[in-house]
Amino acid sequence: MSKIKMPEPVTYAHFTEEGVIRMWSRNPDNLQAVTEAIGKQPTALITTTQAEAYADARVREALEQAAKQCEGRYQPWGNLADDRAADCMSRAAGRIRALIPPQQ
């Protein structure tokens, strides 16, 4: 389960079955009459900037978890096979972290 929270919606809208906005508002309470009439809650909408930041944060979280899994797999114990495995997993963790998108 991700610890990244969804961004707060910037607006709410009711859509027709064709996908056209029927009514929108920044406050969902303003849509109460339409909500009651059609029996559906309004759709919460976020900006593309919010969506991209949220997606990047989820990717960062998943890649960091993968890197930590690699680092914790093998510990060097003084024999050649374990040392090579630990080194390989450490390099794999570094390569995974290189994929993490920069924070903006």
Q: In this predicted model, what pLDDT tens digit does every residue of 27-66 receive, in sequence order?
A: 989 999 888 988 999 999 999 999 999 999 999 999 999 9
Question: How high is the pLDDT of residue 18?
Answer: 95
Same domain? 73 vs 96: yes
Angle between helices 48-73 and 80-98 (to 10 degrees): 170
Same domain? 35 vs 71: no
Q: Phi-psi region for residue 10, left (φ > 0), alpha (ψ -120 to 50) or beta?
A: alpha
Same domain? 69 vs 103: yes
β-bridge mates for residue 75, sequence order: none
Q: Is the pLDDT of residue 6 over 90?
A: yes
Same domain? 37 vs 75: no
